[in-house]
Amino acid sequence: RKEVEQDPGPFNVPEGATVAFNCTYSNSASQSFFWYRQDCRKEPKLLMSVYSSGNEDGRFTAQLNRASQYISLLIRDSKLSDSATYLCVVNEYHYGGSQGNLIFGKGTKLSVKP
Amino acid sequence: EAQVTQNPRYLITVTGKKLTVTCSQNMNHEYMSWYRQDPGLGLRQIYYSMNVEVTDKGDVPEGYKVSRKEKRNFPLILESPSPNQTSLYFCASSLTRLLKGSYNEQFFGPGTRLTVL
């Protein structure tokens, strides 16, 4: 079974801290990568896509290392409102196929304290 | 407002009583999917649909049925619910099927919390 693995946390950090989440995926045929955010008892929402060259959106930076099959998310200057569960998501393919499905990691819980 | 809606949001039922959870999207999306989310197991895909009249099994399809007669609707049917189907269910949609290299965002409904006694 192809897997997406994440540290479940929880990560408890003070406001203003920098926190990093890591994720590994087992299917080398995976093509697209994402971080979703899920607040308690709510639906997941896209935080950012992860591109090969890495990308940044304000305080959030995502990196992809295809050789190591590793994805990361860095949050700088954490806010109370960043408290949530962060899901690593991979668009998985089978070799020779064109249709993929999203595979979700189990999520890393972040709690930002005042 | 662009959205995915699910009904009911909460449901308590008994073993064996057929139920349907409705899902509707107003974004003209081709691809729709159902997930269940359980503590310690994360989100697991039940069924998905690439377009009208095209459905396929996900990772955990046993005990569930779906249909896609119209583009906007993708109901989830539990013919004979059992307690192990107690879970939080999410419907999701995206613009197109998940082609290689695509970065189509999946939009999720608000979730349906189902308890089967």
Nearest by CB to residue A31, choosing from B33, B100, B111, is: B100
Stretches in chain B below the pLDDT threshold 70: 97-102
Residue A1 confidence (pLDDT): 55
Residue located via tokens 């919390």: B113
CB B43 within 8 A of CB B35: yes
Contact predicate B63/B77, CB 8 Å: no
From A41, A99, A107, residue closest to B98, measured CB to CB: A99
Q: Is B85 helix (H, G, I), strand (E, B) or coil?
A: helix
SS3 track for A62-74: EEEECCCCEEEEE
Query: Distance from A104 to chain B by nearest Cα, in Å?
Result: 6
Mean pLDDT within A57-79: 95
Question: What local confidence, expressed as pLDDT, does residue B3 receive?
Answer: 94
Structure-block tokens of residue B35: 């997930």
Residue A25: phi, psi to the nearest 5?
A: -130, 150
Chain A residues close to B105, C-beta within 8 Å: 46
Interface touch A32/B105, C-beta < 8 Å: no
pLDDT digits (tens, 9 = 90+) for A69-84: 999 999 999 999 999 9
Contact predicate A14/A113, CB 8 Å: yes
CA distance A60 to chain B (A): 18
State the pLDDT at residue B99: 64
Taking CB atoms and an 8 Å limit, are B97 and A99 in contact across chains?
A: yes
What does the block give as tokens for A53?
Answer: 């060259």
d(CA A22, CA A42): 23
- What would the mean pLDDT of A17-21 be, rounded to a whole number? 96
The angle subtended at Cα B111 by Cα B88 and Cα A58, nearest 5°, is 110
Instruction: Confirm if A30 and A50 have CB atoms less than 8 A apart.
Output: no
Distance from CA of B105 to the nearest CA of A (A): 7
Task: Give which of B94, B96, B89, B95 is closest to B75, Cα–Cα.
Answer: B89
On chain A, the residues whose CB falls within 8 A of the CB of B50 are: 99
